[in-house]
């Protein structure tokens, strides 16, 4: 099965890139299931229902989020009726929405998607390890689901790596999100779980984490805020990860970065493109 995960979509530049590239990309890769993180899509902070729908229309199957999920207050309401939008699983009991769901892929497979948030240098939440563990017990890979994908939204790479090794062999893919910088440690762990510390962002990379450079640079120099953080508006780059899984076990057989657009060196999954050429 072919899984495509796109990193945090930041502002208008990221949205435009996703809308322009994802439909053709999904068809070209013959992707069975697509996830993207949309928590920074609305002006860099949060997501609206109309933007959420734009992502579905472009070819996303599920939209995950993180610590900025409630920055647009309407999300507290529309998340209850939009089952394909997830918020972190380990938010307190009673928080609107859901942190996991079982979804159908294009090939008919059942995909468990879990959205969890780390605690190191982040908000004080319930333990993500225990929360995800309960989901995996309720819907095990190979029994309740044909593939399991976890968006682990966290700051510390140590926490992301520890989590990935803890679930190794029990999930298909752990995609780290939040830092907006794509890491080069994409790998398949010993137990068969694909992993990357951060999938990066979809947005303007001539920026500071997708934001116009002047304000963050000024704050680092003077420690004085002079305005709001505003998303950079240059041409967006698509950044994410492609994963292929074994249809029998649900474990990963291949992983590769996806980078399309300016600023970064472009990359595509050769294991899909070579099959296409053949």
Mean local confidence (pLDDT), 153-177: 98
Cα angle, residue 39 at apex, residues 194 and 200 outer, rounded to 5°: 40
pLDDT at residue 198, as a whole number:
98
Q: Of 68, 153, 178, 180, which one is the catalytic site residue?
A: 68
d(Cα 166, Cα 236) in Å, to the nearest integer?
34
pLDDT at 90 over 50: yes
Question: Would you call 113 helix, strand, or coil by DSSP?
Answer: strand
Q: Taking the C-alpha atoms of 60, 165, 185 and 275 in order, what is their torsion angle to the nearest 10 degrees? A: -50
pLDDT digits over 100-152, tens only?
Answer: 999 999 999 999 999 999 999 998 899 999 999 999 999 999 999 999 999 99
pLDDT at 277 over 80: no
Mean local confidence (pLDDT), 35-40: 98
d(Cα 195, Cα 19) in Å, to the nearest integer?
26
Whole-model pTM over 0.75: yes
Question: Which structure tokens are listed for 253?
Answer: 């057989």
pLDDT at residue 212, as a whole number:
95
Mean pLDDT for all residues in the chain: 96
Domains and CATH numbers, the chain: 2-277 (3.60.21.10)
pLDDT at residue 231, as a whole number:
96
Phi and psi (nearest 5°) for 85?
Answer: -110, 130
Which residues in the chain belong to E strands, given as ranges?
Answer: 2-6, 8-9, 33-37, 62-64, 100-104, 110-117, 147-153, 173-177, 187-188, 194-196, 201-202, 238-245, 252-260
Q: Residue 252 gets which letter from DSSP?
A: E
pLDDT digits over 184-242, tens only?
Answer: 999 999 999 999 999 999 999 999 999 999 999 999 999 999 999 999 999 999 999 99
pLDDT at residue 274, as a whole number:
75
Q: Give the percent of the chain with pLDDT over 70.
A: 99
Which ranges constitute the DSSP H helices of the chain?
Answer: 11-29, 49-58, 75-78, 128-138, 157-167, 214-222, 270-277
d(Cα 141, Cα 127) in Å, to the nearest integer?
21
Which ranges constitute the DSSP H helices of 30-156?
Answer: 49-58, 75-78, 128-138
pLDDT tier at 278, thresholds 50, 70, 90: very low
pLDDT at 275 over 70: no
pLDDT at 276 over 60: no
Asked if 68 is an active-site residue, the reply is yes
Question: Would you call 211 helix, strand, or coil by DSSP?
Answer: strand
d(Cα 38, Cα 57) in Å, to the nearest integer?
14
């Amino acid at each position: 099965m072919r899984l495509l995960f796109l990193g945090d979509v930041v502002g208008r530049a990221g949205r435009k890139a996703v809308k322009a590239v994802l439909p053709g990309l999904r068809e070209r890769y013959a992707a069975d299931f697509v996830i993207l993180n949309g928590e920074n899509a609305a002006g860099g902070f949060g997501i609206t229902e109309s933007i959420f729908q734009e992502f579905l229309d472009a070819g996303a199957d599920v939209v995950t989020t993180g610590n900025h999920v409630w920055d647009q207050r309407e999300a507290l309401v529309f998340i209850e009726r939009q089952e394909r939008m997830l918020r972190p699983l380990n938010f307190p009991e009673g928080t609107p929405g859901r942190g996991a769901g079982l979804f159908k892929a294009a090939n008919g497979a059942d995909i468990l998607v879990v959205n969890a948030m780390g605690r190191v240098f982040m908000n004080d939440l319930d333990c993500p390890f225990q929360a995800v563990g309960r989901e995996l017990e309720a819907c095990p890979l190979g029994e309740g689901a044909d593939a399991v994908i976890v968006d682990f939204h966290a700051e510390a790479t140590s926490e992301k790596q520890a989590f990935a090794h803890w679930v190794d062999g029990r999930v298909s893919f752990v995609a780290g999100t939040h830092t907006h910088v794509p890491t080069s440690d994409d790998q398949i762990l010993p137990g068969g779980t694909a992993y990357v510390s951060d999938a990066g962002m979809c947005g303007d990379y001539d920026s500071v984490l997708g934001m116009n450079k002047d304000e963050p640079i000024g704050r680092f120099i003077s420690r004085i805020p002079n305005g709001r953080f505003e998303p950079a508006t240059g041409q967006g780059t698509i950044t994410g990860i492609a994963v292929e899984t074994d249809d029998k076990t649900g474990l990963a057989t291949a992983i590769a970065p996806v980078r399309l657009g300016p600023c970064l060196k472009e990359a595509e999954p050769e294991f899909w493109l070579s099959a296409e050429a053949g």
